[in-house]
Amino acid sequence: MEFLDGNLSIFADICEKTVLKRILKDLWKIVLSSLEKTIVLPQSNDSLVRKPKRLHQPLSSGTAVLTETKTLTPKQCLIIDAGLETIKQYFHAGGSGLKKTFVEKSPELASLRYALSLYSQTTDALIKTFVSTQHSQVHDGMGIRITGNEKVRPDRGEAVIFNALGLPPPPVIAVNDMKWQTSGMFRPFAEVSMVGPFLADKKRRFATKSKNNSWTAKFNESFHVLGKETPDCYELQLTVKDYCFGRADRVVGVAVVQLRDVANRKSCVCWCPLGPRIHTDETGTTVMRILSQRPSDEVAKEFVKLKSESRPAEEGR
């Protein structure tokens, strides 16, 4: 605040009132955005999984320091929230600064407050918020197509086929017309992950057997998954991967089926387009960034890793 006082007093002396108001508005946005990005949610999207620790510049020759992003405590969140009132009063300046309506209705303040409200929630509550708000996670394709059985194809193209009869369990029937270039053997398999609240004590990930050099792989395998909440709180994410011996399996594509879309159907087949990665809106990104700051929470770590996996640009080469 001393830094702001010193500089704003100079601006107040040399700037016209309209110019000063514009400076105050820009500064208000910068201050709140900086609070959110450097204190509340310091990690960037790229560091969610790939860089759980940040490598700082060497302190001396041959020496480097790795530091983990620290999680805010509930008390610290309350202090930040209380500090917002002081910052608002400072920029309002008893009526000579920014208008109260501009301050209260600014999207930067709303975003910071929303991040703080989510920050104190449990991992289960955050995952529930993610599932209930992220309805278009796979953008490449026409979305989920539902037919009466697997013999009725809505169109051609790369797709994962779920049989939703008695869901759960969800049989994985096949993955059709995969686009994947490789100089070696292609061994696709499918991982099915149950995503939702209150699954910490349950098995959440299942995998099919791999198929050798098959770009239209038939699996016909079933897995038993259960949740405690209503179906609209859960989703199934299927990640098709190329099995690689001695190194990490490569992602071919991902698909998501939200149980709200099939819960009321007695029998149907879901045709899910494969996308290269999961897409999220601002709420989804905020949830992932908060969960990425919980290194001791296995459910949070698994969720962030699952939602951050993506198809490599070099494919199988």
According to the model, what pLDDT value does residue 54 have?
39
Tell the burial category of 131 from Cβ atoms under 10 Å away from its Cβ (0-12, 13-18, 19+).
Answer: buried
pLDDT digits (tens, 9 = 90+) for 274-307: 888 999 998 999 999 999 988 889 999 999 999 9
145-280 in CATH: which number? 2.60.40.150
User: Does residue 58 carry a pLDDT above 50?
Assistant: no
193 vs 65, more confident: 193
Model pTM? Answer: 0.75
Compute φ and ψ for 284, nearest 5 degrees.
Answer: -60, -40
pLDDT digits (tens, 9 = 90+) for 65-120: 334 556 777 788 888 888 898 888 888 888 878 899 999 999 999 999 998 988 88
CATH 1.20.58.1100 describes domain 2-120 = yes
Percent of the chain with pLDDT over 70: 74
Please report, for the chain, the start and end positions of each structural domain, with discontinuous segments joined by +: 2-120, 145-280
- Name the token pair of 282: 């601002």
Tell the burial category of 65 from Cβ atoms under 10 Å away from its Cβ (0-12, 13-18, 19+).
Answer: exposed
